[in-house]
A = this chain, B = another copy of it.
Amino acid sequence: MEAGPRRQATIRDVARHAGVSVATVSRVLNDIPVVRSEMRERVRDAIAELGYRPSSTARSLSLGRSQAIGVVAPFFTTPSVVERLRGVSQRAGHHGYGLMLFDVETPEQRAGAFRDFARLDRVDGLLVISLPLLDDEVDALERDGLPVVMIDIGHPRVPHVVIDDVRGGELAVEHLIARGHRRIGFVGDRPDNPFGFTSSEHRRRGFRRALRRAGLRPAPGLEVRGRHGHAEARALALDVLRRDDRPTAIFAASDTQAVGVLEAARALDLRVPQDVAVIGFDDIEAAELLGLTTVRQPLRESGARGADLLLAAIAGAAPPAEELDALTVVERRTT
């Protein structure tokens, strides 16, 4: 039952066991071709017999890099982050990099994640998803020489991959207008949200622009904003849908919020899309399941691109800012 305290074999044990020097073992480990094949064999055998596994911590210290990247994001408050993470994971894994997660669920944690010295140094670079970076933070990161790439939100001094949220908002509204809607509501995040998310406001700008361009004027009461989340969106939508001048369609700044709108419609016994049409934004997994029409943004790809940029930055390049332009309306059953 007792797992005897059998110390892990070290490179020295292997060297001794194989009757060679540690340098030789290291060379074998790193596939450095100079080693005679006979030696190589001896070392390989010793490794197998001892069940030796190199210590990546020691390796990191010696090399000055860790082969891991950190990902800072609100993983569980924002479903789209998980989707992006898929892309990140795929690319990072492909290049032999490990993934260290820093979940940020509250504004306090947010500050902590960047200040957390103890943790930050064990990654070779940082990927920041959906969270804006303050100038001080960028200063600090630059001072430390830690490569950073942002996804879904930009900063003038940081390479990032974003989409054109304003255009996305336009697309959504153009879709509704094309279907004959003239009184269109909007449900989104409040501009002063604690994390500083900005995409909702950009999408609202697109919403307004599309209305204006179509000769429509946004009715003030039909635009509502609140905390992110489907429950909050539900409450907001309830208000809007109870008005006398109830909109015939609602654009929600995210699929999560669109779900809230759908819930509100059901609560009021309104049929979707006959009584009220709904379009969301993102195309998270649940959107397909719910049959939600939405503006699709390439979530997985944004993660993949972000990871690639970061890897390039770690390798010494100075990656550019990128704008992904694959926004499309995915029409399903809610419009």
Contacts and interface: CB of A to CB of B under 8 A. Distances in A.
B8 A289 contact: no
Nearest to A52: B117
A122 B51 contact: no
Interface residues on A, range: 35 or more
A145 B8 contact: yes
A34 interface: no
A75 B57 contact: no
A102 to B, nearest CB: 8
A230 B286 CA distance: 12
This chain: copies in complex: 2
Contacts of A56: 118-119, 121-122
A221 interface: no
Contacts of A103: 89, 93, 99
Interface stretch (A15-23, A58-66, A322-330): A58-66
Task: Tell me whether chain A's interface is mostly helix, strand or loop, or mixed.
Answer: helix
Contacts of A213: none
A272 to B, nearest CB: 13
A71 to B, nearest CB: 9
Contact of A57 (B3, B54, B60): B60
A79 B93 CA distance: 20
A86 B93 contact: no
Which of A56, A109, A143, A286 counts the most B-chain CB atoms under 10 A from its CB?
Answer: A56
A111 to B, nearest CB: 14
Interface of A: 3, 5-6, 8, 51, 53-61, 66-68, 75-76, 79, 82, 85-86, 89, 93, 98-103, 109, 117-122, 140, 142-145, 230, 259, 285-286, 289-290
